[in-house]
């Protein structure tokens, strides 16, 4: 495991697998507030990678900069050896992205949306139809193929967004909170698709607050807090001697005292005296 803003290049994962993503000294400020404070990170290829951190840690800001959706103040990101900002076409053909607060074309049906995205990606029409049909089937959306996206539920939106991100068979998939607002059945479906995808050698990088999920799904993790990487590496190493990833996480982000803060609320109890 590497701790505290580890040097990209020398760290875990790079020895046995090439890096899918290399981040060098990445910075982003919003006004006076530093959201991302000089991150260095090498994310190994072919892994299921979790980016975890408390609210406001900088996960979305980092993923947005890594995927070319937000311009950094300083630093570089390379994907498959291509600079995200200097070589965007090469990068965008290799990645799929399910961003937070995904905006979809609401007045298209799910089937039309996938056809449109597939054509934008330059795939032939019959190939788009084949892949879209299979993805809708696997994600249990076949029955909603002709329904307008505006009428989709939160979970259905996540699934159609995932289908759109996978349609061109990217090497690396970035997902910002893919399981948020998703029921357990849909979560299991998404999980199955992602496991199959990484099983073929592709890389998944996703952000989450849910440690149990990360622990059960990921084999590699980066822990972020206050705009910095606190630890990164294979999940067993980041967990160390802690009983669970959740305990290791609370220790790493220094949240132990806040986790116990409820003890101060001695007036809170519903039926008791005011
Ligand atoms: N557009 C913005 N303008 C100003 N401040 C922002 C903006 N986006 C994010 N921030 C701030 O930057 C910090 C990092 O936010 P970010 O959304 O990257 O964190 P996060 O780890 O994804 O949080 P969460 O888990 O709550 O989604 C926060 O303090 C947030 O308030």
Q: How far apart are CA 138 and CA 193, in angstroms?
A: 8
Which distant-in-sequence residues (6+ apart) come within 8 Å of 258 by Cβ? none
Instruction: For each of the domains in the chain, give its residue range(s) and CATH number, in order of start.
Output: 2-256 (3.40.50.300)
Cβ–ligand 1 contact at 61 (below 6 Å) = yes
The pairing of beta strand 19-30 with beta strand 33-44:
antiparallel
Q: What count of other Cβ atoms lies within 10 Å of the Cβ of residue 16? A: 9
Q: Find out whether the beta carbon of 60 lies less than 6 Å from any atom of ligand 1.
A: yes
Query: ipTM surpassing 0.90, yes or no?
Result: yes
Q: Which of 123, 201, 147 is nearest to 132 (CA)?
A: 123
d(CA 217, CA 195): 8
- The pLDDT score that the predictor gives to residue 258 is 61
Nearest alpha-carbon partner for 224 in 244, 251, 252, 203: 252
| Cβ–Cβ < 8 Å for 194, 48 | yes
pTM (2 d.p.): 0.87
pLDDT number for residue 15: 47
Strand partners, 42: 22
| Cα dihedral across residues 172, 249, 191, 187: positive or negative | negative
Atom 8 (ligand 1) nearest CA: 61
Element holding 114 (H helix, E strand): helix 110-120
* C-alpha of residue 115 to centroid of ligand 1, in Å: 33
Distances (CA, A) of 55 to 6, 210, 226: 22, 12, 10
The answer to whether 29 and 219 are in contact (CB under 8 A) is no
What string of pLDDT tens digits covers the 274 residues of the chain? 555 544 443 444 444 557 999 999 999 999 999 999 999 999 999 999 999 998 899 999 999 999 999 999 999 999 988 999 999 999 999 999 998 877 889 999 999 999 999 999 999 999 999 999 999 999 999 999 999 999 999 889 999 999 999 999 999 999 988 888 888 888 888 889 999 899 889 999 999 888 888 998 999 999 999 999 999 999 999 999 999 888 998 888 876 656 555 667 778 877 766 6
Q: Is 53 in the pocket of ligand 1 (CB under 6 A)?
A: yes
pLDDT of residue 102: 76
Task: Count the neighbouring beta carbons within 10 Å of the beta carbon of residue 158.
Answer: 24
Q: Which residue's CA is minimally distant from atom 25 of ligand 1? A: 55
**Predicted local distance difference test score (pLDDT) of residue 14:** 42
pLDDT score of 263? 66
Supply the DSSP symbol for 188: H
The rounded Cα 57 to chain-centroid distance in angstroms is 14
Write down the residue that tokens 């690396």 correspond to: 172
């Amino acid at each position: 495991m590497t701790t505290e803003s580890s040097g990209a290049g020398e760290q875990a994962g790079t020895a046995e697998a090439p890096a899918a993503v290399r981040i060098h000294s990445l910075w982003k400020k919003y006004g006076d507030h530093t959201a991302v404070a000089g991150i260095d990170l090498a994310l190994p290829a072919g892994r299921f990678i979790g980016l975890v951190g408390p609210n406001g840690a900088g996960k979305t800001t980092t993923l947005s900069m890594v995927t070319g959706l937000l311009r950094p103040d300083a630093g570089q990101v390379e994907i498959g050896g291509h600079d995200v900002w200097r070589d965007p076409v090469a990068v965008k053909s290799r990645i799929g992205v399910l961003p937070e607060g995904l905006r979809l074309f609401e007045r298209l049906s799910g089937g039309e949306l996938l056809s449109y995205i597939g054509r934008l990606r330059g795939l032939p029409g019959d190939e788009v139809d084949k892949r879209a049909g299979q993805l809708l089937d696997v994600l249990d959306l076949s029955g909603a193929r002709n329904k307008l996206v505006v009428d989709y539920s939160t979970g259905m939106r996540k699934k159609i967004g995932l289908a759109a991100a996978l349609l061109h068979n990217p090497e690396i998939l970035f997902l910002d909170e893919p399981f948020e607002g998703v029921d357990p059945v849909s979560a299991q479906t998404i999980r199955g698709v992602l496991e199959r995808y990484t099983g073929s050698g592709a890389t998944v990088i996703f952000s989450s607050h849910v440690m149990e999920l990360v622990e059960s799904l990921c084999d590699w993790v980066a822990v972020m807090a206050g705009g910095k990487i606190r630890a990164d590496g294979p999940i067993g190493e980041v967990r160390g001697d802690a009983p669970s990833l959740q305990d290791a996480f609370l220790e790493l982000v220094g949240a132990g005292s806040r986790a116990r803060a409820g003890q101060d609320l001695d007036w809170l109890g519903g039926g008791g005296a005011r």
